[in-house]
Amino acid sequence: MASSHFVLLAILSSALLVVHSPAGTLAQTPAAPAPSPPGPLNFTGILAKAGQYTTFIHLLTVETQVAKQIDNQLNTSTEGLTVFAPTDNAFNNLKAGTLNSLSTEKQVQLLLFHVLPKYYSLQSLVTVSNPVRTQANYGLNFTGLANTNQVNVSTGLVETLVNNALYQQSPLAVYQVDKVLLPPELFEAPAPAGSPPPTSTASSGGSNSTTTAKSPTSSQNTDSGANGLKFWYGSVVGGVAICMGMLIS
C-alpha cells in the first residue's frame, strides 16, 4: 500500500515538472506572423476581375503598350494615378470604324486621355480646378455636388457620369465610365484646307456694272465712225458739185 502511494506521488511530481518546465512554455500557441508587405499593383488584373472591360484591356495590352506604362508609373510615382475605364458597351456604342480609323499613335493618345497623373477620390474630383490635365496632355472637366459621389466628366464632345469605383485606394483609383472619352483634338473635324473663299455679291455686281458700262462706249465708238464717214462723203459730193457749177458758168 505504501509503495502505491509512492508511485502516485512520483507521477504527480513529474506532471508538475512538465507543466512548469521551459518545454511546457514552448508548447503554447505561437503568435500570428506579421503581414507581408503588399505586392505591386496589377492594373489590368483589377479590370479583368471586375469584368466587362475586354475591349479596354485589349487596347491596353495588345494594340498598345499603355498597360505597361501605367504599371511602371504606379510603382514609381509618388502622386499615383486615376483611370477612367470605359465598359465594353461604351466601345460598342462608338460609330463603326472609329477605332480602326486611328493610327497606333492616336490609339495611345486616346487611352492616355483616360488617365490622370494623380490619385483623385470621387469627392476630390468635385472640387478640382478645371480643366484637369490628362496623360495625353488634353484636358478634362469635372462637375458635381459637394459631399456626394455624383461626378460628371466632360471632354467637350462627350459627357458622362463617373458612377462606379472599381478600385479606390492610393496610389490608384479606377472608375467606370459608360462612354468612351473622345478628345476634340483627335475627333473634331478640322476645317477643309485650301478651299476658295466664297464670291461676294458686291464683287459680282461690280463685274456686271463694268460690262454694262463698256457696252454703251462700244456703241458710241461705232456711231462716231459712221457719222464721220457720212460727213466725209457729204464733203466730197459737195466739192464735186461746186466744181461742176464753176465749169458750166
Reported as a single tens digit per residue, the pLDDT across 204-228 is: 444 444 444 444 444 444 444 445 4
Candidates 82, 81, 91, 100; CA nearest to 54 is: 91
Helix (H, G, I), strand (E, B) or coil at 232: helix
Residue 163 banded pLDDT, cuts 50, 70, 90: confident
Task: Please state, as a whole number, how many other Cβ atoms lie within 10 Å of the Cβ of residue 113.
Answer: 23
**What CATH number has the domain bearing residue 164?**
2.30.180.10
Residue 75's pLDDT is what?
86
- Is 16 within the bounds of a domain? no
Whether 135 has a pLDDT exceeding 60, the answer reads yes
Q: Is residue 95 part of a domain?
A: yes
Domain that includes residue 141, residue range = 43-187
Q: How many domains does the chain have?
A: 1
128 in a structural domain: yes
In a domain, 38, yes or no: no
Cell of 61: 495590352
Q: Assess if residue 104 is contained within a domain.
A: yes
Phi, psi values for residue 77, rounded to 5°: -85, 145
Averaged pLDDT score across all residues of the chain: 76
Cα separation, 160 vs 181, in Å, equals 8
Residue 35 inside a domain? The answer is: no
Query: Residue 88 half-sphere exposure, CB side, CA atoms within 13 Å?
Result: 10
pLDDT (mean) for 134-144 = 96
Residue type, 238: G
| 182 in a structural domain | yes
Higher pLDDT, 23 or 128: 128
Quickly state the pLDDT bin for 33 (edges 50, 70, 90). low
Instruction: Please say if the pLDDT value at position 119 is more than 90.
Output: yes
Asked whether residue 233 is domain-assigned, the answer is no
* 201 pLDDT higher than 50: no
- The more confident residue out of 69 and 232 is 69
How far apart are the C-alpha atoms of 241 and 233, rounded to whole Å?
Answer: 13
